[in-house]
Structure 1
Amino acid sequence: MSNLHSYYLLLLFFFSTNIEASQQEPSESKLLTQQQTLPVDDRIIDLVEKVRKKEGDITTIFQRLQSQESTFNIAEKYLMLMISAYIHKQEGALALSVTELTQALSFEERMDTAQLNTENFSHIHLLLAEIYQIQGQYKLAYDEKKHYLEKRKKNRSVLQKIRLASLNEKYATDLKIKENELLENEQKLKSLQLAEATKRRESQQRNLAILMVTALIILVLLIRQLKIRATLKYLAKTDSLTGLYNRRVLFTQGVLLLQEHQQRQIPLSVMMLDIDHFKYINDTYGHDVGDKVIIAVANLGKETLRAKDIFSRIGGEEYAIILPHTELKEAKAIAERLREKVQQHVFELEDKTTENFNVTISIGVATLSSENTDFDQLLHAADEAMYRAKTSGRNQVCQ
């Protein structure tokens, strides 16, 4: 227990050192007093200052002020109780002092916090701490001095704000003068800048016109280049006469699709078709009509085939078609529909003296199997099936 008392005594010594240093700043107290929410009689303030500094006999003055207590506000009553407790402490009536100080503290709920944090009001905690220390109640003395330091810290924060406001007011005039000088200089600078800006604007307008013309020329050339590139890309993939995929695309896509279908073990079919008696058409009606027949067969194929099918012209009157996800039976059905559609189509000639005519096609169908393990073999199988259709009388589908 004696160790605990020694600990609190050490803390009380430390607090007392800080408190003595803070009491050497009367100017701060005066500044903060000006910010009190409730007015306090100057005579009471003088008595409190003497209590804080422990100077002189205050009993006579205190007794004269007590006769006017009915006119005091709650802040003045607070301080009067603190002064009375100080007097009773000097007389040795410690219990009465504690009672008066406790009564004063009960007023705090109805008072302004900032006012309570000032030195004159927060001194009540120091007075209580001294009494508790004399009574040997070191824990209570420690708590009261701790309360005092907390209020002092808040008080110093307010003081800093007041000082800052005072400095702002002091230098406001100088700042205003400097601002006016700055505005005058800015006006002069703006006049010079305006003249310079006019010259720059004229120069910029000329440069902008040149830039816009140059940009327009570059844009036209770029668009032209993109169109040429798109056209070349399209031509590299398509047959110029029919717009179908060319042989190169057929083989590229065929290899990729075959690998995919082999890995996933799904059916893949290929068709080869050839226009029957095409040489006769060219010899009889001319190559222009022959080209129209090639184009017409291509268009009929587009109408018949599905979106996922790859339709290409591989040369002359020959076409090849890749049918993804398609078994042999379904592939033959698609081929038969295409054959019938071509057979039913009537080719009309511009020369009215010549009768209209029909054409037919021969189609070979092959499906991915263990015998056709690569795309070349699969296409060759379809080509052989087409040859059988030719030799069997044309205008038919063979597998």
Structure 2
Amino acid sequence: LNIAVSNIQAQLVMLKQNEHLLYISSTDQLSKLKNRRALQDFIILENEKLGRYRTRRKFTLQETIAFIDLDNFKYYNDTYGHETGDLLITCFAQLLKQIFRKVDFIARFGGDEFVCVLSDTSCTEGKRAAQRLYQGLEERNYFINDIEAFLHRKLEIPKVKRLGFSMGLCSNYDVEDNANLDIVLANADKALYYSKQHGKGCVSSWAEIKESVSDVEEPPCRTGRADLK
């Protein structure tokens, strides 16, 4: 009996260790959101699920991907230091978790970019979520109070330098292969780049911009668009 108990305890310890390793490998340590690797794994599983629904049930679930990039983030990094930038990443991540649903998959893509995979959601509903996110930022005073508490001093931040975000949206209903979220993610990224080019605080839908422009320019890189901050 003692040997059996010891074996069970050893297995429980190993199980907890494996769970901790999985958490570390799939979680962004700064924001506590899922990381880019976890996002890629999630998209693979979702592609398989969407394909099964389409084949067996003759029905395609609708999913929308929101690609988000913070506006004016570079200003805070350059003016108040990288630790303040880290604080803003943490605060914005918390706000994302408050605004979006538990069924939505939220990840920090890298730098000040975030990706949300919205289940059973259209781009129109994604825009409504963006408005709730803007409202949440305003209610939190654009995290200015958090920065002041962190720096232990009052700040005079110009209105044009308040933290904001731009967003690109794409639904799997807006692409030819609606069981391929990789394409949806790529188009959401293009829609985000379009938003950044056309002014801060914009939300663009791929379904809308692909008809209005003859050639949507490819983003120069998928993270750290310093030229567009």
Instruction: Give, in whole Å, the separation in 1 of the partners of 2:187 and 2:138.
Output: 24
Instruction: Give, in whole Å, the separation in 2 of the partners of 1:229 and 1:356.
Output: 47
How much has 1:309 moved relative to structure 2?
0.6
Q: 1:280 aligns with which of 75, 80, 85?
A: 75
Q: Which residue number corresponds to residue 197 of structure 2? A: 391
- Unpaired runs of 5+ residues, structure 1, are 1-210
Instruction: Give, in whole Å, the separation in 2 of the partners of 1:397 and 1:286.
Output: 28
Q: 1:339 aligns with which of 118, 128, 134?
A: 134
Summarize the Cα distance change of 1:368–1:286 in structure 2 as closer, same or farther, 3 Å threshold: same
Q: Does 1:313 align with 2:108?
A: yes
State the one-letter code of the partner of 1:339: Y
Q: How many residues align?
A: 187
Q: Does 1:240 align with 2:44?
A: no
- Alignment TM-score, normalising by the size of structure 2: 0.72
RMSD: 2.6
Q: 1:230 aligns with which of 1, 8, 19?
A: 19
Query: Residues 301-348 of structure 1, C-alpha deviation per residue, up to 9 Å, x if partnerless?
Result: 100101211001111111001011111211111122113322442322
Q: Which residue number corresponds to residue 294 of structure 1? A: 89
Larger Rg: 1
Instruction: Give, in whole Å, the separation in 2 of the partners of 1:227 and 1:356.
Output: 47
Alignment of 1:70-219 (within 5 A): none
- Unpaired runs of 5+ residues, structure 2, are 206-229
Query: Residues 207-255 of structure 1, C-alpha deviation per residue, up to 9 Å, x if partnerless?
Result: xxxx79xx87x88876654443221111122111111111122122223
Q: Which residue number corresponds to residue 364 of structure 1? A: 168
Q: Determine if contact 1:258/1:375 at 8 Å carries over to the other structure.
A: yes
Q: Which one has a larger percent strand, Structure 1 or Structure 2?
A: 2
Identity, % of aligned positions: 30
Q: Determine if contact 1:241/1:295 at 8 Å carries over to the other structure.
A: yes
SS of residue paired to 2:151 = coil
Q: Which residue number corresponds to residue 155 of structure 2? A: 355
Q: Which one has a larger percent helix, Structure 1 or Structure 2?
A: 1
State the one-letter code of the partner of 1:392: H
Instruction: Give, in whole Å, the separation in 1 of the partners of 2:41 and 2:100.
Output: 20
More relative contact order in 1 or in 2 (CA 8 Å, sep 6+)?
2
Q: Does 1:377 align with 2:190?
A: no
Instruction: Give, in whole Å, the separation in 2 of the partners of 1:221 and 1:258.
Output: 37
SS of residue paired to 2:173 = coil
Instruction: Give, in whole Å, the separation in 1 of the partners of 2:9 and 2:62.
Output: 49
Instruction: Give, in whole Å, the separation in 1 of the partners of 2:153 and 2:192.
Output: 35
Instruction: Give, in whole Å, the separation in 2 of the partners of 1:254 and 1:294.
Output: 23
Summarize the Cα distance change of 1:356–1:309 in structure 2 as closer, same or farther, 3 Å threshold: farther
- Alignment TM-score, normalising by the size of structure 1: 0.43
